[in-house]
Structure 1
């Protein structure tokens, strides 16, 4: 569907009336009224449901409306009145639907019955649940388990995730990639090396006691808006907030609380960022090296003057390892090298270092702007280094905080969704259920894609998600996907992955988290883990979109029963009847984290998993917190000596959650009507002989010789650093090579893709024509 592009800079605060208008627009679009709207007050409440969007924490004392703009969009998306019925699929072939845009596919509404793709007519046809389970089970029995992929998106509950990983392992494989592999797997690799835990150490209460916040590569306004409430309170207390992001995002600048009538009426926003720095993409290691260099210089001066130390030397001596090597690297690194890689001046970096040096308690927040680079693990390690220098881990008001995306992506790993069997108590699982667990390491997401390209995968089972649209190298992956023998999708809505069919493909529609889940034992409850490692119950009460929907837990159990033929002692039917029995099993498997789970799951604010680093106990190879020296200051793949190569950031819009596109209005960036745009610094536009409004194409710079090109993009002049471009995900995933991933975690390096830009042949606008962009 053709939509006109309109662009006008947005200078209003985040939140406020813009957020309220957005909610009304999206409720109307999804035809959500009456009882459905009545569910919003239950969102993120102790006896309500956990948001299906991001994983931000649920406070013990919630606001009356404990939801954000994007969380409400996710709720409307799930409670929509629209339905993609069997009649819809009878009218459209999958070939036709592949030509639709992502928004238009999902905007058809909720799936209502199980479907099987018919190759002869190229249409999805209804199939009974019993027929689907039996056919899938028969087919799975014919495959080598190591040629089957069990993928999990971050939405599935702890209960469903635990059952799913058990199903895969009894089947005989550790091929359990998940959505974390594409975003925060870098965190899971980096933090254990530094502080001995794979998750952040910050809790909500820490925001009330900190006096400095460092934020790197995270867009709070679109990706975790409920975090704006503790940030606002911190700003009002005078907390210094230092934001580092190549994009100047509105959410970090000013905020009007929609739940504060006085602020809404006055229109006076709260200023959040004390300083806003725009480094080059992948330049964060250099920025943090400069800040560390500043701390060392200030510490030297303090010692010379007989004043209190800037470094927390007592903490370093007692709790840390590797400081001498790290200090040596920082001292020998020159400012010219730091400035060139950081894209910031020495003065700006020293300014940030001096502010941080005055903080008694500091929190460091980060997102995929750190993790999705070649040296993302080193970037995370450097941020931890800054905290360790000042003793800012293991005290109230301090710590490291990776902001997760999917609402339970962190929890899935906690209960066993992991490709590495070393991360899971597989011997205990074997003893509990009477089977021999597989020992071979399984596929990550990138490894699963590589195996598909080499015809090394026969079947794919997806517990939610839009795998094929989310992964890199679209142009190569879609033909490979078509060679699969079996694809099974557990889903709530139609998406692109469902339309690139295998030899045999099934759509298994499930209940949404907001919907009442009634089993033999009565109404059921599920649980999730948030970004602060707190566990929460979630109770759905909305009427199911269709009487034919089954819960994810029931679907996993039926697939396992049809496939495994009694190969282990698993009470699948008992678990489906009463989810509390699954939680009892989780508690027996992971007693330290989940003891008394059923009794604690309704604790206001959730019950906390124990994290040793919060108590300054370091489960690392040295028994201490480790300073880690980065391999380089440039975390990207691009060559430094070619000024025609730009670093492309792929990013989400304000009307988006991961691959789910809610609409075409990226309000905070002032872009409306199209996602086919690329943002570029005005000086770079002039240097490259282009004009804003021109049609351009991007081509990837990679050594593998495989052509990757994205054409049909409209160029927009925008406030991004020189040498940088920004464009939307997943449309530009075609430009990300599978081989360009984080060195340790294999997370796709989607935040600094080396590309060249050129005008499309025949575009008169490059020769001075009027840019074809409507004013808003």
Structure 2
């Protein structure tokens, strides 16, 4: 393994607010590590998430029309520093190191080497990457693809590619004959993509950023806002300061939803203020207890409605909305009333009185937003979690009106937008007839491979080629070990990337690394400098304009790379003029508007306006595109979100995976998890002190975890440091590189 500077492990309780001077100091430290402290990066940061500037490559939280002076968060700034590093991963680096050697490097150290500078091809004879000319790379990749069955080829997309690139990429795949278009959303919010359409007929949330100024109550379920979408803390802080009730459910005490001090506020920064209390109530429920908690709140609402009805007072339920807009209410009511408080308390670890108090607050609120993250979606029955949260909002008509609605907090900056323009394995979600007529080809109509099916295909050998548009697939997916072991049996592996990561070190028989520019960087094509576009998590489309110098004259834009791959692979099989599209990205936006007219009317004239423009989310207007034509109350099969877990063994724990503070998805910026007070290591197992004692362990002891899934596959993670933490019993969160909660 590569020798790295020894790190002193220091674990202590963190008592400070999110934001504040801790955030400022962290940014100074991170910029210095990338050689940027005294560079022009700080002028660049003033353009981040601003009209006429570039959209952050980190999270997908909304970009307001009236921006703060510093419209970036700690993680967003780290992402910018990480990508704009002065370090270069060039041919000299690959001449020095074999792939086998690099496989032993920590993930953090691989990306720390800096930006890729020219196209590379893996040489199995030397076990090294070597430079290759762009023209040769495209020609050979095209020849390999032509020799393969398109149904055995996967076109994967991470959440960072622009709308223009994503639209072109999915067309390339379909013209080639593949419906295999998995993306990172399959791994994090697939429960949203399935559950919301079943409940309200929309695959995305109904909330706009302006709704946070209008609501009088918010729920947060399973989302570490302080680490994963810190800019949301600003409207949340304003809401708290005007008296909005905020109720949080999460097994872990996350600082962002406890205390926040805004770096935008000089008075607060210079004072000894502990920051704003962000949650009125913060409930550390047992992992997987979300359905039970929501059932308890609903049960309390029904009791209050019964009392109001008996007294002849105003009903607590929105009976008009339920009658006019919903279906399935009677079945939902029966489920809630039949569930006992004993069951709810046992599954949540929470007291009946606390959930009844939340129900009383909910009954008084007029405009309620429910926010949730991957603590709700990454479960075997995550779709039921999404249904239940929708049910809670539907009870009181908190869907499709100002200041209220459902808000899934997405991860990567354009992961939602990629689905909007056709990155989907489901043929019914793409306008295939329009594609066929406009571009004169017949797209495949069968369902393709999502991420799970892609993993299965890599393991069983039916996937013969993998093209990755960004991301670190092997590190992000479940079954990492099995996927990595089978990867070398693939015929072709192609990665479009800015930096080296673990997945790039898993060669197939033919393997290429194709370096691209970032959206922060100047993109000059035949018609001049180009704009890109992205969609945020509130379904607003924004323009993004890069001005920084690319890392090398030998890197290409993502649209250019996709177009060249198309010309080498499917030239003449459609009417698409790939060169004309690359020459002027406005042409691509016109094509997106033609194929998706309801969402992108006036695309080229609207996407640069402050705050972007919002897609037409029909559920926001109480138009329900469901099978019933109504918003649906949907009943879970039980209170269990993870009904495959067997905790009858006294040594069994329920494992949650979490991000550290110096991390975004699989990118590891460093080893300082400041907000949990864990520095110098990421390999920790956070445990309740009673569990540590019960299992005969001690603080600081290294342990291994083994799966009890019962499917005959041995899964083991070792080297985890036992660390006492404030969490419910029989739950053990661990920091693992692919975690994204």
* CA–CA separation in structure 1 for the residues paired with 2:696 and 2:169: 54
Instruction: Indicate conservation of the 8 Å contact 1:173/1:440, yes or no.
Output: no
* CA–CA separation in structure 1 for the residues paired with 2:32 and 2:46: 18
Instruction: Indicate conservation of the 8 Å contact 2:683/2:736, yes or no.
Output: no
* CA–CA separation in structure 1 for the residues paired with 2:652 and 2:438: 55
Tell me the equivalent position of 1:388. Answer: 394
**Aligned to 1:42, what secondary structure does the other structure show?**
coil
* CA–CA separation in structure 2 for the residues paired with 1:384 and 1:292: 11
Deviation per CA, 1:61-99: give whole Å up to 9, x if none. 000110000000011011110100100010000111010
Give 2:436's match in structure 1, choosing from 408, 430, 434.
430
Q: CA deviation at 1:730?
A: 2.4
Which aligned segments of 4 or more residues in structure 1 are displaced greater than 4 angstroms?
none
Give 1:286's match in structure 2, choosing from 287, 292, 313.
292
Q: Does 1:689 align with 2:689?
A: no
Which is further off, 29-38 or 407-416? 29-38
Paired residues, what number?
734
Tell me the equivalent position of 1:10. Answer: 14
* CA–CA separation in structure 2 for the residues paired with 1:38 and 1:112: 24
Q: CA RMSD in A?
A: 1.0
* CA–CA separation in structure 2 for the residues paired with 1:48 and 1:575: 23
Q: CA deviation at 1:417?
A: 0.1
Q: CA deviation at 1:34?
A: 2.2
Give 2:587's match in structure 1, choosing from 558, 581, 585.
581
* CA–CA separation in structure 1 for the residues paired with 2:649 and 2:391: 31
Deviation per CA, 1:474-507: give whole Å up to 9, x if none. 2211111111111000000000000111111100
* CA–CA separation in structure 1 for the residues paired with 2:406 and 2:590: 31
Q: CA deviation at 1:394?
A: 1.2
* CA–CA separation in structure 1 for the residues paired with 2:727 and 2:166: 40
**Aligned to 2:645, what secondary structure does the other structure show?**
coil
Deviation per CA, 1:300-358: give whole Å up to 9, x if none. 01111121111111111111100000000100111111111112121222122121111
Q: Does 1:595 align with 2:605?
A: no
* CA–CA separation in structure 1 for the residues paired with 2:30 and 2:147: 46
1:624-773 counterparts in 2 under 5 A?
Answer: 624-636=630-642, 637-730=644-737
Tell me the equivalent position of 1:180. Answer: 185
**Aligned to 1:502, what secondary structure does the other structure show?**
coil
1:208-607 counterparts in 2 under 5 A?
Answer: 208-268=213-273, 269-607=275-613
Instruction: Indicate conservation of the 8 Å contact 1:219/1:251, yes or no.
Output: yes
Q: Does 1:30 align with 2:42?
A: no
Q: CA deviation at 1:640?
A: 4.7
Q: In structure 2, list runs of 5 or more residues that go unmatched.
A: none
TM-score norm. by structure 2 comes to: 0.98
Deviation per CA, 1:370-415: give whole Å up to 9, x if none. 0000110000110000100011011111000000100000000000
TM-score norm. by structure 1 comes to: 0.94
Q: In structure 1, list runs of 5 or more residues that go unmatched.
A: 734-749, 752-776
* CA–CA separation in structure 2 for the residues paired with 1:623 and 1:641: 43
* CA–CA separation in structure 1 for the residues paired with 2:368 and 2:294: 15
Instruction: Indicate conservation of the 8 Å contact 1:48/1:539, yes or no.
Output: yes
* CA–CA separation in structure 2 for the residues paired with 1:674 and 1:121: 34
Instruction: Indicate conservation of the 8 Å contact 1:256/1:267, yes or no.
Output: no
Deviation per CA, 1:151-197: give whole Å up to 9, x if none. 00000000000000000000001000000000011101000011110
Which is further off, 286-295 or 2-11? 2-11
* CA–CA separation in structure 2 for the residues paired with 1:474 and 1:583: 37
Instruction: Indicate conservation of the 8 Å contact 2:285/2:350, yes or no.
Output: yes
Instruction: Indicate conservation of the 8 Å contact 2:61/2:409, yes or no.
Output: yes
